[in-house]
């Protein structure tokens, strides 16, 4: 049985390397590729059911790989998504990817043999993690058992996290103000504090970091 793979990565050279590695195995076939999350959201649904696994980078311009994963995995007959990223040291990114529906998370430095094995496992619905990511996940969930209320961005107040979540959903200040029954000026002040704590310059960057950490997702 041939495993049909779709590639999403904004680095052409790395994408070329993935294609060559995959097609060195007669049981693998690359059926499409793109450099952005937006393009993946359009191309992958059109290719269903001819795609078994999507290899998805996390950090893409515009729509992040996590947001694209959330939308793709919600489709009827959706392929399995396997994240391939150098961001495996960021616990919030890894957990955010899993919350979005990814089947696993492997490092970009993964060997060809391990890449092929990971894709085969993902195609069969298995959870797949490179050793470094698996080790960090173990420590992450162990810490969560010790501190049950651990959340993304612990420096933010509960109200700031609530506002950031709505920002990640695409809400503007007026909509947030009406939802939380707060004055527009209060919302602006909270957003200024959020920017400072996240060390970001604008709303787009804050929303991207929030989505990469699993905020802004529709309730299950």
Q: Return d(Cα 85, Cα 53) in angstroms, integer.
A: 15
Q: What is the pLDDT of residues 61-114, one digit of tens each?
A: 788 898 999 999 999 999 999 999 987 777 778 888 888 899 999 999 999 999
The pair of structure tokens assigned to 108 is 């970009």
The pair of structure tokens assigned to 58 is 């996390």
Q: Distances in Å between the alpha carbon of 176 and those of 39, 152, 207, 209? A: 29, 20, 14, 19
Given this model, what pLDDT does residue 199 score? Answer: 86
Considering the chain, what percentage of its residues have pLDDT values greater than 70? 90
pLDDT band at 142; cut points 50, 70, 90: low
The distance in angstroms from the start CA to the end CA of the chain is 33
Residue 201 has pLDDT above 90, yes or no: no
User: Of 136, 81, 130, which is closest to residue 106 (Cα–Cα)?
Assistant: 130
Rg of the chain, C-alpha, whole Å:
18
Q: Return d(Cα 165, Cα 216) in angstroms, integer.
A: 5
Which string of b and e fits 97-108 if b means at least 16 CB within 10 Å? bbbbbbbbbbbb
Contacts of 51 (CB under 8 A, 6+ apart): 4, 5, 6, 31, 32, 44, 79
> What is the set of domains in the chain, with CATH numbers?
3-144 (3.40.50.2300), 158-212 (1.10.10.10)
Q: Name beta bridge partners: 85.
A: 107
Question: What predicted TM-score, i.e. pTM, was given to this entire model?
Answer: 0.66
- Across the range 116-143, mean pLDDT stands at 82
Other C-beta atoms closer than 10 Å to the C-beta of 6 total: 24
The pair of structure tokens assigned to 185 is 């000026």
């Amino acid at each position: 049985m041939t495993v049909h793979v779709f590639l999403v990565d904004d680095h052409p050279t790395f994408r070329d390397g993935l294609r060559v590695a995959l097609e060195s195995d007669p049981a693998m076939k690359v059926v499409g590729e793109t450099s952005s999350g937006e393009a993946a959201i359009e191309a992958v649904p059109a290719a269903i059911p001819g795609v078994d696994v999507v290899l998805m980078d996390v950090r893409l311009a515009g729509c992040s790989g996590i947001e694209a994963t959330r939308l793709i995995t919600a489709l009827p007959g959706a392929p399995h998504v396997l994240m391939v990223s150098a961001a495996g040291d960021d616990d919030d990114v890894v957990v955010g990817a899993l919350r979005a529906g990814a089947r696993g998370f492997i490092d970009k430095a993964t060997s060809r043999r391990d890449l092929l094995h990971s894709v085969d496992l993902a195609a069969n619905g298995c959870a797949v993690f490179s050793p470094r990511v698996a080790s960090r996940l173990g420590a992450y969930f162990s810490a969560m058992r010790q501190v049950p209320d651990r959340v993304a961005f612990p420096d933010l107040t509960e109200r700031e996290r609530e506002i950031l979540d709505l920002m990640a959903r695409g809400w503007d200040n007026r909509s947030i103000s009406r939802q939380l029954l707060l004055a527009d000026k209060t919302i602006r002040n909270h957003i200024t504090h959020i920017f400072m704590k996240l060390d970001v310059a604008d709303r787009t960057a804050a929303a991207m970091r929030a989505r990469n950490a699993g905020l802004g997702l529709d309730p299950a």
